[in-house]
Chain A
Amino acid sequence: DAKTTQPNSMESNEEEPVHLPCNHSTISGTDYIHWYRQLPSQGPEYVIHGLTSNVNNRMASLAIAEDRKSSTLILHRATLRDAAVYYCILRDYNDMRFGAGTRLTVKP
């Protein structure tokens, strides 16, 4: 599976936008970019995924670089409930393999 690189941790203030970066320089043409998050003591939760175009849903936006070697998950207004570990994963036909993710702390 292609690898992703994320910062270990990030901090944000409540009510402010958060941009979570992910580098995936070895992405293949058929890899989808998936984002999940995991709150304490819970299983991971699907956030968003895309292939080439930017994507929006009720939780977040996904901005994909034109060369697809990086992407950014955007939380438009962080809340305390968004504090979690965020995982960026490349997925083709193979199964989902998680890295360490980015631990997001949201300060009131």
Chain B
Amino acid sequence: ETGVTQTPRHLVMGMTNKKSLKCEQHLGHNAMYWYKQSAKKPLELMFVYSLEERVENNSVPSRFSPECPNSSHLFLHLHTLQPEDSALYLCASSRGQGGIFGYTFGSGTRLTVV
């Protein structure tokens, strides 16, 4: 248990489905992040939320839609995905955005698009 909980752990979805990934932290952190990790590739930063405001969106396709309703919860809504979107999706949180703050990661959601 890392303090950041992601559900579900595994998800298989068709290209026409709509699903959501959930991330929850009760560490009192103010910033939350979505990363994507494809096979044999480094982690890619997708979205950054600070104090529930989206502060960064790294050219992510619109079929990925993040939502941060409060500082403890982060969602990634998925629709009409492609097989190449299959990856490990990781959520992380930090106390703040300064360099002194480390990240706490969840265990990830393994997504397979069929």
Contact = CB atoms under 8 A, between A and B. Distances in A.
B33 A93 contact: no
B48 interface: yes
B98 interface: yes
User: Do most interface residues of chain A lie in helix, strand or loop, or is the interface mixed?
Assistant: loop
Interface in A79-108: 91-101
Interface stretch (A13-21, A43-51, A60-68): A43-51
Interface string B83-114: 00000001010000111101111111010000
Contacts, number: 52
Given A93-B97, A95-B97, A42 B102 contact: no
Contacts of A42: 107-108
B95 to A, nearest CB: 12
Interface of A: 30-32, 34, 36, 41-46, 49, 51, 91-101
Interface of B: 2, 4, 33, 35, 42-43, 45, 48, 56, 90, 92, 97-100, 102-108, 110
